[in-house]
Chains A and B, each alone.
Chain A
Amino acid sequence: MTTTPEITTPPKELKPAKVGSRSSIAWPLGFLGVAVLIFVLNQWILPEASADVQSGFREWLPMSAVNEAVLWAIFALGLNIVVGYSGLLDLGYVAFWGIGGYVAGWLMAPFANQVAPQWNNLKISVWGHPLPGQDYGIHLNFWLVLIIAAVVCALAGVVIGAPTLRLKSDYLALVTLGFGEILPEVFRNGERVGPNGAWNITNGTKGITPVDQIGTGPFQLIPGVPDLLGPFDLTWKFIVYGGLLALAMFVSLRIREGRLGRAWLAIREDELAASMMGVPLMRTKLSAYAVGASFGGIGGVCYATHVGGVLADRFTFSVSIILLAMVVLGGMGNVWGVTIGALGLAWINSTGLSKFGDVYNDVTGGNVNFASHNFLIFGAVLVLFMLFRREGLIPETRTKQVLQEPERGEIESLGAEMEGTAEDTAAEGAHK
């Protein structure tokens, strides 16, 4: 960082980012089209197919795993804004997932009347869709809760971000890690807090179940669309989550082209230079946290409706790490890379690995339990990627250049040559 690195390969494609909304709308729309196709396939075509095709499909791409992967992708896009766009290393992203989840738990579940003893007659419903027989507590409409969770998480992001503004990369990572460790503990132990343990804010490890259904609003007028998406309407939920993912992509792509996005990139590349050029560091960094966190809130609410509840045990540090891996392996800063990385890794984690294991065992007659080796596979993939393809699966052009340039020492930049090491790396960079 101390010198201007010599660019060994001339920057080939430095065409200006396409200004205008065409690409940022077209791609998410394209994705939405794919999502609709998958939906149609699952909803109408697959039931007509032969039993073999059907069971194979359901085994390899079970709808619940697909839904979960889509949610992971929303989270990964949120983290991508913080890490990939603005270069602020965040190791506590799981906190926002949790906050979003608990917002859903408070606002769309019967749980609210257990919070304090005097609240047990509470019955509020704002276009809510409680499960049958669960209509006490607070029930807000799913779409309202999405907005509320996004706002709450954005505020939480600012609160978490504010004390870290003075800090540099590693220290920043540590503080976010601290928050990412504290909040899950609050969720786990929040059963008896306040004076004499009178308040139950999270229901402890028991978690909050059930969470309300998703109302379809005006869409239920379309024939065939159910008015409520309950726990088993997986394909219908898929279209909801897929739509939200498309929205997240759109926001990611669109915001990047604007003033704020360019300020983020500037901060990522060189904070000091950016501030000299008039980028307000504080506001820009805080807005990165806020926007990234609000994605987490939206994803958290969706996740609560996906599992039908909020469980404190889900919010562990490893989630933050897996999300970071998705961002890095997919290609930091590149919306498509991150999305594909997230979908792929999430699918491999949930079904892919065990299915590949089954195939391998069938073919070779072996008896290897692939799922028990997931730590090794995941770890090895991370290490190998970092060694041989640091910029990720689908790299962002800019990141690729930065990551492949040899970083040269101060003395070298003054003309001294170091034992050939710098040349070697330079040659290596030019090869790729």
Chain B
Amino acid sequence: MTQTAVAASEVKPRRLPREIALTLTGYTLLALVLLWALFQLITKPTEFAQLFIAGLGNGALFALIALGYTMVYGIIELINFSHGDLFMLATVLSGIVCVSWFSVDSFTLGAVGAVALALVLAMAAAAALNVAAERIAYRRLRRAPKLAPLITAVGLSFAYQWFGQRQFMTGSTSKQWSTMFGSDGFNIGDIRVPYTTVIVIAVTIPLLLLMVYIVQRTRAGKAMRAVAQDQDAARLMGIDVDRTIAFTFAMGGALAGAAGLLYLQSIGTSNYNLGFRLGLIAFVAAVLGGIGNLQGAVLGGFIIGILQGLNDGLGLGQQWSQTVVFALLILLMVFKPEGILGSPTTEKV
């Protein structure tokens, strides 16, 4: 909210010794992680590059999901717990389109068309579902205390999981789907690059750029930023707040839909509860970059993807990957709660 001149003059930045110590500790920890990565890079360059590429692919997916999270959070300050499950539904839907309708299992021209169609369908369906959820569940709760929409999001997450659990979707166990590339790839020197990673990055980067363009250059994006700042003021300026929020949900949903298809094409399995875990990781990515900040979400997604990849191969191992991600989150919260690219928020009084 707006800050009066008097209040602004009263807030003087004072650096307590305790805060300086905290910042220093934070940077030391960061430096240690970087040193460790550097050490691994020097001692095992091939392995490092291999894991780095795998991490890059995952990071792109996290970035896509994280963008949806961060946009919704940025505009109505809601941790949309159902976002990950929306992604899961998109995964299954794209699998149904690709495999059950067109039986895609190899890289042909038809397969590319089918996957492209699935991409469009998944994006549209996820966007529509997200907008419907906003209309039915979140809109009425916009002025309610924060806990209410949060619980609603959890409820929706359960409802989505139920839908994913149906037999025609993925069933209650995990389901295998054939994919366009399988595990094919090409080699650069000793390093093997799966085709899917290339596809994931090739689809992700334009989408991310498009999103940044929409938010920063178009009228709708301007409206979004205005609504995020102050809904009432935006309304007074003639912005249709409801429509802007719905638009934000639509874009977040579409990104989750795209991420769903890419996930299925690169992993090849779906499970009704995969969304929750991935959604949490994506949310950590969004927070890491500074929640509400688009570039931050992308950066956070890639950082988490790469760190996780390195940890799986060279660090503690895959069984600890969740711990690494959440330890990162907690450290960040303690040392720099506003995230890497976020700006510190002043307390509203």
CB contacts (< 8 Å) of B145 on chain A: these are: 390, 402-403, 407
Closest to B322 in A: A185
CB contacts (< 8 Å) of B287 on chain A: these are: 171, 174
Complex interface: stretch among A147-155, A341-349, A373-381: A373-381
Q: Which has the most chain B C-beta neighbours within 10 Å: A1, A272, A382, A390?
A: A382
Known: A173-B150, A387-B152. 17 other contacts (CB 8 A): A163-B334, A166-B337, A170-B77, A171-B333, A174-B333, A182-B330, A317-B276, A332-B147, A378-B158, A379-B154, A379-B158, A386-B155, A387-B141, A403-B148, A411-B232, A412-B232, A425-B143
CB contacts (< 8 Å) of B27 on chain A: these are: none
- The verdict on A352 contacting chain B, using a C-beta distance below 8 Å, is no
CA of A181 to CA of B327 in the docked complex: distance in angstroms?
10
Query: Given A189, A385, A407, A411, which contacts B233 in the complex, CB threshold below 8 Å?
Result: A411
- Using A186-B323, A412-B232 as known contacts, say yes or no to A403 and B158 having CB atoms under 8 A apart: no
CB contacts (< 8 Å) of B29 on chain A: these are: none
Q: Please tell me if the beta carbons of A2 and B137 are within 8 angstroms of each other in the complex.
A: no
Residue total for A at the interface (Cβ-Cβ under 8 A):
55
Closest to B161 in A: A375
CB contacts (< 8 Å) of A382 on chain B: these are: 151-152, 154-155, 158
- The verdict on B149 contacting chain A, using a C-beta distance below 8 Å, is yes
Q: Mark A373-417, 1 if CB is under 8 A from B, else 0.
A: 111101111110111001000000000001100110111100000
Q: Mark A56-82, 1 if CB is under 8 A from B, else 0.
A: 000000000000000000000000000
Q: Please tell me if the beta carbons of B144 and A170 are within 8 angstroms of each other in the complex.
A: no
Q: Mark B263-293, 1 if CB is under 8 A from A, else 0.
A: 0000000000000100010011001000000
Query: Given B162, B276, B320, which contacts A185 in the complex, CB threshold below 8 Å?
Result: B320
Q: Please tell me if the beta carbons of A378 and B155 are within 8 angstroms of each other in the complex.
A: yes
CA of A418 to CA of B241 in the docked complex: distance in angstroms?
13
Can you name 21 A-B pairs with beta carbons within 8 Å?
A: A2-B1, A174-B79, A177-B280, A178-B329, A178-B330, A181-B322, A181-B323, A328-B147, A328-B151, A376-B159, A379-B157, A379-B161, A382-B155, A383-B137, A383-B152, A386-B137, A386-B149, A402-B145, A403-B144, A410-B232, A411-B232
Q: Please tell me if the beta carbons of B151 and A181 are within 8 angstroms of each other in the complex.
A: no
Kindly provide the distance from the CB of B274 to the nearest chain A CB, expressed in whole angstroms.
14
- The verdict on B92 contacting chain A, using a C-beta distance below 8 Å, is no
CB contacts (< 8 Å) of A378 on chain B: these are: 155, 158
- The verdict on B46 contacting chain A, using a C-beta distance below 8 Å, is no
- The verdict on A324 contacting chain B, using a C-beta distance below 8 Å, is yes
Residue total for B at the interface (Cβ-Cβ under 8 A):
52
- The verdict on A179 contacting chain B, using a C-beta distance below 8 Å, is yes
CA of A367 to CA of B330 in the docked complex: distance in angstroms?
48
CA of A233 to CA of B140 in the docked complex: distance in angstroms?
49
Q: Mark A185-211, 1 if CB is under 8 A from B, else 0.
A: 110110000000000000000000000
CA of A378 to CA of B155 in the docked complex: distance in angstroms?
7
Q: Which has the most chain A C-beta neighbours within 10 Å: B1, B144, B283?
A: B144
CB contacts (< 8 Å) of B155 on chain A: these are: 378-383, 386
CB contacts (< 8 Å) of B158 on chain A: these are: 375-376, 378-379, 382
- Using A321-B154, A379-B162, A386-B141 as known contacts, say yes or no to A178 and B327 having CB atoms under 8 A apart: yes
Q: Please tell me if the beta carbons of A379 and B148 are within 8 angstroms of each other in the complex.
A: no
The residues in B between 315 and 334 inclusive whose CB is less than 8 angstroms from any CB of A are 319-320, 322-323, 326-327, 329-330, 333-334
- Using A179-B330, A328-B151, A409-B232 as known contacts, say yes or no to A383 and B156 having CB atoms under 8 A apart: yes
